[in-house]
Amino acid sequence: MKASNVVALGLLWGVLAIAKQEHGIDPQDFVRVDGLRLKDAKGLHYITGLNYWSCMNLAANASQGGNYSRLVTELDQMAAKGVNHLRIMASSEGAPTPQPFRMNPPLMDAPGLYNEEVFQGLDRCLDEMSKRGMRATMTLNNEWQWSGGFAQYINWATNQTIPYPPSWNMTKAPQRAVPRTGWGEYSTSDDGAASYSEFESFANQFYTNNQTETWFKEHIKTVTARRNTVSGRIYSEDPTIMTWQLANEPQSIDSITNKETLYPWVSRISSYIRSLAPKQLISVGLESKQGEEVFKSVHNFSTVDYATSHCWVQNWGIYDMFDPSEQNLQNAQTFAKDFVNQTSGWARDVGKPIFLEEFGMARDNWENKDKEYAYLSSANTTHKDSYFEVRTIIGAVVDDFKKGGAYVGTCPWAYGGVWRPETQTMNEFDMVWAGDPPHESPGWYYVYDGDEAMQVVSRQQQDVGSWVKGKRARGIRDSLGNNVIGLSCSYI
């Protein structure tokens, strides 16, 4: 090709790209870290986020199990509530033989072998997000089985059978009269399920296996270098992608393996991402439940831009979804507020912002106790609403932000949108795409489109927005000394 043709093509491409970008996030407007704050071109950037991990699959061609009308309906619903960030998967791994309990079809069928239609789903997802002023956390791997993750990489490398821990089996009894509509039950040792510690030991071979690390780096290279087939943007040059996240909840089993395997892995992989995508941010995806030392060690690398936290009161044994008592709720509220306060303090010590990127609570499922399914959507949400709102977890983050603490936003698990367990039907890939990932009971944790929790999310955005506007009107600096000149896209 002649040079002049290249220039002409380049110009044409530029014109097309500009036409597209009129409705998208400005191509120069990368979110950056400034002390304990995130900033974008408009000033302070507070994150009103939601987990929406299945975005690439919903956005894929219908022949791959996608559902474009559901995707745009749900993105519009979230945008209408002021949501400006989605945490999504930018990875999922398959196997030569069909595997249970995970996203299907996967992005990667085998090392380096991609399902282009699912990849185009990720392209479309990012383009639709950009049009609505939403930025992404792109999760590149997974400690857990629900996307394939570390365990699948190890299976690829060693051919060892994956010892799945107890996981939700949609076809196990009890079954509804209409085939493929559920309910199902967790697998047990009678079904061949292993323990969680066996599973973790298996999956965590990933931190020290040279072959799987090479494959993982190749994935990172492929996804950061990809040109979006819808928007034309290179992923590493697209500010719609705020953050590359090493993995969902990477962790180790004890203090020795933390030091010897987890921390060096965080250092190697985050440096590698930085070398390929220097304009975007990097987070680890740590739950931050393992205490101060792990928190500070994992987040203190120069190639990790901000800290993350996940707060799970029921999974951690603090809350019981069958107990209607006020005391049960109060235990959860107290725990969550302390957790936010404590992790904020640790993040301040490390000198970086922190993002609460997972938390959730079940509906009032004691109301479902004697019904056919414990997770029916008809149950009330009194505890969940109190847990989310201003006096508890979201309120604690907003207060911390206003006081100049390290928190910069929230991201509940997960947007369930128009989906309901009562009307679910597994598609040809055995998926229902609930807010719960495929190894957990559908209907446990999510926010539905009509839920009060979405109003709480929305009020948070309005609250922070008007707080910033008020400060700006009076020319006040925030408590960290930042000149409060504005707040991201949807706030002004």
Ligand X SMILES: *[C@@H]1O[C@H](CO)[C@@H](O)[C@H](O)[C@H]1NC(C)=O
Contact residues: ligand X, CB under 6 A: 61, 63, 67, 69-70, 73, 100, 158-159, 169, 171-172, 187, 191, 210, 296, 300, 341, 345, 349-350, 367, 378-380, 418
* DSSP 3-state of 309: strand
- Cis ω before 156 (30° cut-off from 0): no
Q: How far is the CB of 67 from ligand X (least distance, A)?
A: 4
Q: How far is the CB of 379 from ligand X (least distance, A)?
A: 5
334 Cβ neighbours under 8 A, 6+ residues apart: none
Q: How far is the CB of 437 from ligand X (least distance, A)?
A: 15
CA proximity to 108, closest of 221, 201, 194, 205 = 221
Using only the alpha carbons of the chain, give its radius of gyration: 22
Q: Which is nearer to ligand X, 57 or 142 (CB)?
A: 57
Structural tokens at position 94? 């398959």
Q: How far apart are CA 53 and CA 40, in angstroms?
A: 24
Q: How far is the CB of 176 from ligand X (least distance, A)?
A: 14
Strand duo 415-417 + 47-51: pairing = unpaired
Q: Which is nearer to ligand X, 186 or 469 (CB)?
A: 186
Q: How far apart are CA 143 and CA 157, in angstroms?
A: 16
Give the chain's length. 492
The secondary structure element, H or E, covering residue 109 is strand 108-110
Q: How far is the CB of 11 from ligand X (least distance, A)?
A: 27
Q: How far is the CB of 245 from ligand X (least distance, A)?
A: 21
Q: How far apart are CA 217 and CA 107, in angstroms?
A: 15
CA proximity to 406, closest of 38, 51, 84 = 38
Q: How far apart are CA 131 and CA 233, in angstroms?
A: 13
Phi, psi of 339, rounded to the nearest 5 degrees:
-65, -45
- Quick check: 279 and 298 in contact, CB under 8 A? no
Q: How far is the CB of 326 from ligand X (least distance, A)?
A: 14
Q: How far is the CB of 68 from ligand X (least distance, A)?
A: 8
Residue 97 CA to chain centroid, in angstroms? Answer: 27
Q: How far is the CB of 485 from ligand X (least distance, A)?
A: 29
Residue 142 CA to chain centroid, in angstroms? Answer: 11
